[in-house]
Structure 1
Amino acid sequence: MNIATAAVIVTSPDRNFVTLKLTTDDGLVGWGDATLNGRELSVASYLTDHVVPLLIGRDAHRIEDTWQFLYRSAYWRRGPVTMAAIAAVDVALWDLKAKSAGMPLYQLLGGASRNGLMAYGHASGRDQEELFDSIRLRLDQGFRSIRVQTSIPGIDAVYGVRAPAGQESEQHYEPAQRIARPMEEDWDTRAYLRHIPTVFEAVRNEFGPELPLLHDVHHRLTPIQAARLGKDLEPYDLFWMEDCTPAENQDALRLVRQHTTTPLAIGEVFNTIWDYQTLIKDQLIDYVRSAVTHTGGITAMRKLLDYAAQYQIKSGIHGPTDISPVGMAAGLHLDLAIHNFGIQEYMQHGDVTNEVFRQSFTFENGYLHPGNEVGLGVELDEEAAARHPYQPAYLPYNRLKDGTVHDW
């Protein structure tokens, strides 16, 4: 089963996606997600100009060999563009192999380790009333674990806060705006640190002790600030505190770990197992947050999560709307197969995206399942995709009150 053709499809239903289509000489089609939010065309060019010419005629069954070839032969390794491109090839090859075998992908990964995947939804509000309404909406939708984000007094715009309940949509939430230049937001760490513990106190008083609650700091704190927040949130029993400080300096998490028992989730901006080496070996985190799409595909993520399992660290695979349904399905199949599954982020795609990407995965009673169609269980409608051309979009960025650019 050799690769006969390879094509890169860029489409923008609700938001931009980059999809790789591999077709074999016996007519099977495999799909891979290469979306890199705000830098989509960089990956599309990397695939089209440098990777696709290397794929024609290769044995589609040789997944590991192809992964190593694409990673090592370019000499310039790692980085989000390279790893997203490799991920697209890898996922498409796994899709082809599972279709050739006539079974859903998770069966090739060892079969199901559980019946369903606990998912968490996103709730937010500009004030307490809106936040409570948003949590109730997510509970009504079936979620049994909730990420809580809120506006901060004195800060005009904060990542992760949607429109009021009843007007919410995941498309509205999507932070990459279709504008000519990135949107500037402001930030005040002291105001944030004062406010967030009061928010979780109110949520616990309203919704009780059993509801799993999560919070995304989005890399905005120094290690000592993150340690303080983790300590202040301990009474509210968070499922995790996510990306509390920029973790490129892996040793920075030692300080956080020394001062708080709040579980830590890290890694949605990481690209390889090397980014996690110290964090996992020294047990400085509790959950791995990378996405299959941004971390070299199923082959690489399986190895990363097997490494994490040695230290009782679990998965928390990234699942925002800038991961296409193809990338989402890849994560779900891996989730179902591994032993150390923790939780899965789930943001529903918009109606237009669902018209372009036909999906078999399901969400019911708070649990996701990848479905039992052969392969990934996702197919792209190329005619529908062609109706939605690429549109430039940028993620926002932050400045402090004195004008300093801050971590977003």
Structure 2
Amino acid sequence: MIRLGKCRKAMVLILVVYIVAAFSMLAFALAFRSRITIEETQLLTERLQQDKIALAACVQARSILEADDHKLDCLDDPLFGWHKLIPTETAGRSIGPDESLWRVNWRLIDESAKINVNLAPPDLLLEFECLDEATVASIMDWIDEDDVPNPDGAENDYYSGLESAYRCKNKPIDNIEELLLVKGISLEIYYGYNPSEGDNHLSEISEFVDDVPHNSAAGLCDLLTVYGDGRININTAPKQVLDVIPMLSDTAVSEITSMQKDASRKFSSMDDIQENDNFNDADLLLLAQIAKFNSNHFQLHIKVRKKGRPFWCEYMAVIERQEQSTRILSWQRKSRALIKNIEYFMLDGHESVYSQGEGNALF
């Protein structure tokens, strides 16, 4: 009887231990799940805050564009420098610049300084060193309406045979990122570097500065656009764009880039060009057709980061400037991570919303 009583006590003790262990594991699981839920809620809240802050930066950029003189846009215009947006109030309380939990920087890039890929003839695109005849033919096939491939080009027969198959668009490009879908366009060609390797030649990691060389290596995203009527603002066009314009002399390119750096001398009309002895008759005839001196479309880059977070959240928009107003033609949200002083695009997680063509403003 004594042994039986001891066995029962031992069994009860073991059962109690198992029950306590089970409840402990259940409590741990619930606590872990609650922690995950709290973190997810915090991240969602931060994302909503980021979106609102980015929209505030967009409002600031649009206000500056609307107040700016529309007649002339140049590289040294304050429009094109980095700007800071410092939240001045949180939860109804005024705060100083050093107290802000958010770091917000934005800048404008002139889309009128680029070549409209939808209007560019093949001969012009072939002037880009990064594009060969097969890639240019594929771009033309992507844009044209037929399903007949150009020599060395690509139509539906090629794209439908890919592992992740899709159809050739056969319409004008609405978003310049569509070029990444075109046969022959790699990340290096599009960006000028490989984002997955962190080799960013325009790294803006620790400080946002304006002294990045204007003529540094650039990708197609820096040189091509889908906006505008095909004319180019020669006051803001980079040398890589000027170099590929057929029949524009080297002397003319040199004079234009020199004028871009001279704050006291700017081209404000064709009269200024005609009075300049560095342009020959062919240059004058060409520039009369393709040159402009102000801009109507701007790409807006916004970067938002919360203090203590290693992640930048990047937004991109395209703004169309009209007489006394502006409108948004496209809006994108992309996540970026700051790792070991190098920014990497999180390509798999990027989100974008863009309008189909110039006529549909988002807001």
User: TM-score scaled to structure 1, two decimals?
Assistant: 0.29
Q: Which has the larger radius of gyration?
A: 2
User: TM-score scaled to structure 2, two decimals?
Assistant: 0.32
Structure possessing the higher relative contact order (Cα contacts under 8 Å, 6 or more residues apart)? 1
